[in-house]
Amino acid sequence: MASKAFLIAVFFATVAAPTMAAYYMVGENDGWKLGVNYTQWAADKTFYVGDTLMFMYDKASHNVLKVNGSDFQKCLTSNTTGLLSSGNDVITLAKPGKKWYICAVEDHCTKGMKLVINVSEAAAASPLPPPKPGSSGASKISTFKSFGWMLAALTVFKIILA
Ligand SMILES: *[C@@H]1O[C@H](CO)[C@@H](O)[C@H](O)[C@H]1NC(C)=O
Ligand SMILES: *[C@@H]1O[C@H](CO)[C@@H](O)[C@H](O)[C@H]1NC(C)=O
Ligand SMILES: *[C@@H]1O[C@H](CO)[C@@H](O)[C@H](O)[C@H]1NC(C)=O
Ligand SMILES: *[C@@H]1O[C@H](CO)[C@@H](O)[C@H](O)[C@H]1NC(C)=O
Ligand SMILES: [Cu+2]
């Protein structure tokens, strides 16, 4: 079983990922928590329709609330319609435009647990070219994408085996 999971993870990491939409772990290794600058995290990324955001956090301490621009600026958490709280929330970016996410726990939003991104139309060329030897930027992204897909594959297996 483990070897099958491993093979599927390798398949996603090496074959499927470079041609598929990007998979972003918000905050990368830090995840979704206090003390991370998510503006900085998003600054060097271009998000496209079809890409996926994954918020990983301790669900006893945090959550993810999708809000509009004005609630984002004010850190207003009264509209809880878009609340996610699994600790492992996966969001597929379905439409272009700005998306705002905050943590609705206590004053975490004002302390910086807030993320705004601008999703671009998928259209045009592949957002991430295949890594070129010697191009550290591209291979870094590719490694990160592969890591994301491996996690996705392992998550699927966790669900199947559970
Ligand atoms: C977060 O990073 C952005 C961009 O690098 C910077 O402009 C901003 O001041 C930082 N915010 C905090 C609270 O450090
Ligand atoms: C944002 O959402 C709040 C409710 O959460 C609403 O009262 C407000 O009018 C909305 N603002 C805009 C600009 O859509
Ligand atoms: C509350 O949030 C939901 C989802 O984000 C949105 O569709 C709805 O319009 C908001 N409610 C108000 C009163 O703005
Ligand atoms: C989002 O990015 C697109 C280009 O990808 C740009 O045309 C648009 O004006 C941006 N929207 C906002 C609200 O910044
Ligand atoms: Cu929080």
**DSSP secondary structure of 67-125:** E-HHHHHHT-----TTEE-SSEEEEE--SSEEEEEE--STTTTTTT-EEEEEEEPS-SS
User: Is 37 a pocket residue for ligand 1 (Cβ < 6 Å)?
Assistant: yes
- Give the pTM: 0.74
Average pLDDT, the chain: 79
Residue 24 has pLDDT above 50, yes or no: yes
The residue assigned the tokens 């509209």 is: 79
Residue 17 CB: number of other CB atoms within 10 A?
Answer: 22
pLDDT in tens, 47-59: 999 999 999 999 9
pLDDT in tens, 101-140: 999 999 999 999 999 999 999 865 555 555 444 444 333 4
Residue with CA closest to ligand 3 atom 3: 81
> How far apart, in Å, are the Cα atoms of 80 and each of 35, 90, 102?
23, 17, 11
Share above pLDDT 90 across residues of the chain, in percent, rounded to a whole number: 62
Name the pLDDT band for 157 (thresholds 50, 70, 90).
very low
Write the burial class of residue 107 (CB in 10 Å: 0-12 exposed, 13-18 middle, 19+ buried).
Answer: exposed
Residue with CA closest to ligand 2 atom 6: 71
> What distance, in Å, lies between the first and last C-alpha atoms of the chain?
13
CATH architecture of 21-123: Sandwich (2.60)
Instruction: Name residues whose C-beta falls within 8 Å of residue 134's C-beta, 6 or more positions apart in sequence.
Output: none
* C-alpha 51 chain-centroid distance: 8
Atom of ligand 3 nearest to the CA of 67: 5
CA separation for the pair 42, 85 (Å, rounded): 22
Beta bridge partners of 47: 119
Residue 148 confidence (pLDDT)? 46
In the chain, what are the domain boundaries? 1-19+141-162, 21-123
Average pLDDT over residues 80-89: 97
CA separation for the pair 117, 91 (Å, rounded): 13
Contact 66, 94 (CB under 8 A): no
Higher pLDDT, 162 or 26: 26
Give distance in angstroms: CA of 105 to centre of ligand 5: 5
Residue 38 has pLDDT above 70, yes or no: yes
Residue 68 confidence (pLDDT)? 98
Residue 122 confidence (pLDDT)? 80
Lowest mean pLDDT, pick from 8-22, 96-110, 131-145 = 131-145
